[in-house]
């Protein structure tokens, strides 16, 4: 069983991780350029952004426990897969699938999970999560001489509405010092339902417009 990390354990991990940040930054930049180039021409892409994980967040994750209370990561410098992560934001739900398809054509896919509430009457986080193998063409100079290094990077693809809910919710729920009460959770879920509704309404508008677009069958 593992307990909460002590300050000096955290510091030790931060000191091991921090010198690698420039390389992770170079890797993030190379991957971002690659993704921007590959998605060029696809409509409704708001932005593509990559980042290296910050040292404090990495250190905290290093001490995460599995369901048996044991350390989840044997070698965190290899096992934590979001040391470099990217995100693609699109306008509409229907834009997610073509982006995912193109990303899967570009990189070797390891995992793909659609994050969404399990219950039909719940509103919460939604996003397409993917894990890809890091291609050798993106390795920055010095990457291959690192003794421990991640072999994968993470990507999220989601709409602006999904993102507009996820970011402030993450800030409040994970970074807040106080545990949310039931009323606060309900309000956050209400905000999620509005984000979901925003996406759904835009889809309906697009469907409606399509019926009146010159060349469509109902013209």
Partner 1 sequence: MLTLDRVYAFSVTPQRGIDEADVAAPSGGSVRITNALRQVVDRAFEKVSATALTTVDFDFDGLRNNEVRDQVMTVAFGATQAPRTAASRLARRLSATMDNRSRSALLLVTIETDDPKRRVSMLLLPREDVIQLGGSNEELLLTLLNDAFSTGSGLRKVARMHGHNNKSQFLSAEVLDLQLMSGQKSVADFWIREFLKARPRLDSETGSRHLAVAIQRAFDAAPENDRDAAIAAIFKASSGRVAKTSLAKFADELPTELHEAYFRGLADGELRRTAFDVDRTIVKTILAQWMITTKDGVVIYAPADTIGKAVQVTQSGAKRTVKYSGTIDKERVVRGRRGAAK
Judging by DSSP bridges, how do beta strands 84-90 and 152-159 pair with one another?
Answer: parallel
The residue (of 119 and 137) whose beta carbon lies closer to partner 1 is 137
Distance CA 145, CA 125 (A): 38
For residue 65, give every residue at least 6 positions away whose Cβ sits within 8 Å of its Cβ, in sequence order, or none.
1, 2, 71, 72
- In whole angstroms, the minimum distance from the beta carbon of 44 to partner 1 comes to 23
Give the residue from 117, 100, 111, 98 showing the smallest Cα distance to 165: 117
Q: Contacts with partner 1 in 28-67 (CB under 8 A)? A: none
Q: Contacts with partner 1 in 122-161 (CB under 8 A)? A: 131, 133, 135-137, 139, 141, 143-144, 150-152
For residue 67 the two structure tokens come to 């369901």
The residue (of 123 and 128) whose beta carbon lies closer to partner 1 is 128
Q: Around Cβ 94, how many Cβ atoms within 10 Å?
A: 15
The residue (of 78 and 184) whose beta carbon lies closer to partner 1 is 78
- How many chain residues bind partner 1 (CB under 8 A)? 28
- Are 23 and 53 in contact by the 8 Å Cβ rule? The answer is no
Does residue 108 bind partner 1 (CB under 8 A)?
Answer: yes
Q: Contacts with partner 1 in 77-96 (CB under 8 A)? A: 78-81
Which residues would be at the binding site for partner 1 (CB under 8 A)?
A: 73-75, 78-81, 105-113, 131, 133, 135-137, 139, 141, 143-144, 150-152
């Amino acid at each position: 069983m593992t307990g909460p990390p002590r300050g000096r354990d955290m510091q030790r991990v931060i000191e091991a991780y921090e010198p690698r940040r420039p390389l992770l930054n170079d890797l993030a930049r190379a991957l971002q350029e690659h993704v921007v180039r590959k998605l060029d021409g696809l409509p409704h892409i708001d932005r593509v952004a990559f980042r290296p994980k910050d040292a404090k967040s990495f250190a905290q994750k290093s001490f995460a426990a599995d369901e048996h209370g044991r350390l989840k990561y044997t070698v965190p410098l290899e096992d934590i897969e979001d040391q470099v992560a990217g995100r693609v934001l699109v306008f509409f739900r229907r834009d997610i699938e073509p982006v995912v398809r193109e990303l899967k054509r570009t990189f070797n896919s390891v995992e793909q999970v659609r994050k969404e509430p399990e219950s039909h009457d719940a509103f919460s986080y939604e996003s397409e999560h993917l894990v890809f193998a890091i291609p050798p063409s993106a390795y920055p100079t010095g990457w291959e001489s690192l003794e421990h290094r991640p072999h994968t990077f993470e990507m999220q693809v989601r709409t602006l509405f999904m993102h507009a809910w996820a970011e402030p919710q993450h800030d409040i729920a994970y970074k807040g010092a106080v545990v949310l009460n039931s009323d606060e959770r309900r309000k956050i879920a209400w905000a999620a339902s509005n984000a979901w509704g925003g996406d759904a309404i835009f889809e309906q508008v697009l469907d409606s417009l399509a019926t009146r677009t010159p060349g469509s069958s109902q013209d």
